[in-house]
Amino acid sequence: MWEGGHGERLDTRLGSRIVWATALIVALPVQASLAPIVSIGNTAPDIPLLVVLFFAFYHGPMASAVAGAAVGTALDLFAAGQGPFYLAAYPALAVLVSAIGRVTATVRALTVGAVVALGSLAIGVGHMVWGPPVEHADELLAWFTAKLASQALYDTALAWTLYVGWVWRHPPPRDGLGERDEFFSARRLQGLIR
């Protein structure tokens, strides 16, 4: 039990880590079970992607890469695709978003919307390229408009909802790169990680 100013900060850090770890762990089951319920047409929010991106907003590149790799590995395991597509895509995206968050110092609504929209589009296009070749141009065009665009819009709308509900009042810290990797550098995890 910590007491005093520094101890209270560590306690908050521990709670934050637990919340983020829980979000990363339950993202896939929530997506698999609840997404069909909240789907609009053929589009449902990409909850694992949103969790990884928001995690990257609040953490450094190293922690974001590890979180992205964990969620990506789980996705590659339980999704129907072949090969480590998400294991490659999610850490790269997370590191990029973490760097953007560090450069912009504090996350704004426009940043959140743009990053999530671009992330959703990137994952969709990457998935399309990763899979079998598309034989019909009209089919590809229809997919871009009906699936990819609607998916990006839905994800962006949900991201803005999260921004209004949480990020706006709890912006990411203006820490440097090393300090922002505190997800792994806090005292309780030092012995395990290092």
Partner 1 sequence: MAHPASGSKRAWLIAVGVVVFTAVAFLPDWQQRPVPVVVRPLATAYGFASQTVASAVGWVRDTWSHYVAASRLYDANALLQADVDRLASERNALLEVAEENRRLTALLDFRAALPASSHGARVIGRDPSRWYQSVTIDRGSHDAAVTDMGVAVPRGVVGTVVKVFPSVSVVLLITDRQSAVPAIVQRTREQGIIEGTMAGRLRLKYLPPSSEIREGDVILTSGLTASFPKGLMVGTVTRVDRAEGALYPEVEVVPSAALAALEEVLVYELAPAS
Which residues contact partner 1 by CB under 8 A? 28-29, 31-33, 35-36, 42, 44, 46, 48, 74-75, 77-82, 86, 123-124, 127-128, 131-132, 134, 139-140, 142-143, 146-147, 151
Smallest distance, partner 1 to C-beta of residue 97, A: 18
Comparing C-alpha atoms, which of 23, 68, 16 is closest to residue 182? Answer: 16
Q: Which is nearer to partner 1, 25 or 186 (CB)?
A: 25
Closer residue to partner 1, CB minimum distance, 48 or 60: 48
Give min distance, CB of 8 to partner 1, in A.
37
Side-chain-side CA neighbours of 27 within 13 Å: the count stands at: 25
DSSP code of 131?
S
Nearest distance from residue 74's CB to partner 1, in Å? 8
Residue 111 or 120: the one with the smaller Cβ distance to partner 1 is: 120
How many whole angstroms separate alpha carbon 93 and alpha carbon 90?
5
Closest Cα partner for 99 from 62, 69, 71, 124? Answer: 62
Helix (H) or strand (E) holding 176: none
State how far the Cα of 81 lies from the Cα of 89, in Å rounded to an integer: 13
Q: Closest approach of Cβ 156 to partner 1, in Å?
A: 14
Nearer to partner 1, 46 or 182 (CB): 46
